[in-house]
Structures are given as C-alpha cells and as structure tokens.
Amino acid sequence: MKAAIYPGSFDPVTYGHLDIIKRASYIFDELTISVLNNVKKTPLFSVEERVKILEEATKDIPNVKIESFSGLLVDYARQKDAHVIVRGLRAITDFEYELQNAQTNRLLSKEELDTMFFTTSLEYAYLSSTTVKEIASFGGDISSCVPDFVGRMIYEKYGIRR
Ligand code: PNS
C-alpha cells in the first residue's frame, strides 16, 4: 500500500491545501494529514480545532485521515512507518525553505523519508493561511480562500460580524 503524510500547521486549512490534499489522495492509497502541535507558536486555532476543521473539509475523501503530532517530523513518520512526505510548492520563495526541510528530513531519517512536492494550482499560488488571517482580521472577503464554514470560524475568532 502506498501511504504518505502531509504535515503542516493548517492554521487554518485553505483551498490551496485542499487542492494538494485532493491531488495527493488520487496518487496515494492512504494520505494522513498531520497537524503540527507547535508549542512555540500561538496559532489562531488550537490543534484540536484545526484537526476538526480538516476532518470536516475532507469528509468526502475516503482515503484521507487527520492526525496531530508534536516534535520532529522524522520521529513521527518513523512511528507510523511512513516514507513519503507531501508538501505544496507555491512559488520560488517556498523553494529554499522546503528544500532545506526535505534534505534535513532525509538526512535525519537515514534516507528513509523522501519529500514529494506538488506545485500549487495557479489559482491558489497567492494563497497562505497567514494572508487569509490578515484579510479576515480587517473584515475583508476570504470567500475565495477558504470553505464558508472555515471563513465563519475565522471571523468569529476576530470578533468580526459580516
Ligand atoms: O505549514 P507549515 O507551517 O509550513 O509546516 C511546516 C512543518 C510542520 C512541515 C515543519 O515545520 C515541521 O515538519 N515541523 C516539525 C519539526 C521538525 O521536524 N523540524 C525539522 C524539519 S527540517
């Protein structure tokens, strides 16, 4: 069985992430979306909320499951006996960071873990969770960025009525 993990912060999931999830789910038999519980960051949504949001957003994709993890990605991947990481590449600006992570993970895993990159669909090339939160915090329109139920949850976090 071909299995992969798609790790990330997903704070919150955007249409860009969902595009990658859908495309990766066609290629792998099982895709685990792994939400990082990073105690060093203060996310807008708790890890539990991010997991729930992802569960709802991917409920129609049968071979996708959602988990959370903390610590090193290589340790988590080893526990799961996973050998492929999925990541999206939006633009050249993502490349250096992603290349460094991919190479570090390959080294730390003693070459047991490879990263497979999906180039983001052009319509989502501009999209990031950070941008979405910035727009929403000023009451801007994020309907083209995230599913409606996610949008409502973001506005609620910022105390914005639309
Ligand atoms: O959505 P993000 O924030 O770009 O995802 C980054 C993520 C979660 C993939 C990366 O920060 C990660 O794997 N963190 C876990 C800690 C770790 O293993 N760090 C070393 C990677 S080189």
DSSP state of 5: E
> How much is the pLDDT for 155?
98
Length of the chain: 162
> How much is the pLDDT for 20?
98
pLDDT at 87 exceeding the cut of 90: yes
Q: Give the domains, in start order, of the chain with CATH numbers.
A: 3-122 (3.40.50.620)
Mean pLDDT for the stretch of residues 17-41: 97
> How much is the pLDDT for 93?
86
> How much is the pLDDT for 25?
98
Distance from C-alpha of 70 to C-alpha of 76, rounded to nearest angstrom:
8
How many degrees, rounded to 5, is the angle at CA 143 between CA 140 and CA 148?
120
Per the CB < 8 A criterion, the answer to whether 22 and 111 are in contact is no
Nearest to 88 by CA among 101, 73, 71: 101
Mean pLDDT of the chain: 97
Q: Which residue numbers are catalytic? A: 17, 41, 90, 129
Q: Is the CB of 73 under 6 A from ligand 1?
A: yes
Q: What residues does 66 pair with on adjacent strands?
A: 33
Which residue has the least CA distance to atom 9 on ligand 1? 8
> How much is the pLDDT for 53?
98
pLDDT at 23 exceeding the cut of 90: yes
Q: 8 C-alpha vs ligand 1 centroid, how far in Å?
A: 6
Q: Is the CB of 151 under 6 A from ligand 1?
A: no
pLDDT at 162 exceeding the cut of 90: no
Distance from C-alpha of 98 to C-alpha of 113, rounded to nearest angstrom:
14
**Per-residue confidence at 1, pLDDT binned at 50, 70, 90?**
confident
**Per-residue confidence at 145, pLDDT binned at 50, 70, 90?**
very high
pLDDT at 19 exceeding the cut of 90: yes
Ligand 1, pocket-test mutation among 5, 6, 9, 84, most atoms within 8 A of CB: 9
> How much is the pLDDT for 119?
96
Per-residue pLDDT tens digits for 36-85: 999 888 999 999 999 999 999 999 999 999 999 999 999 999 999 999 99
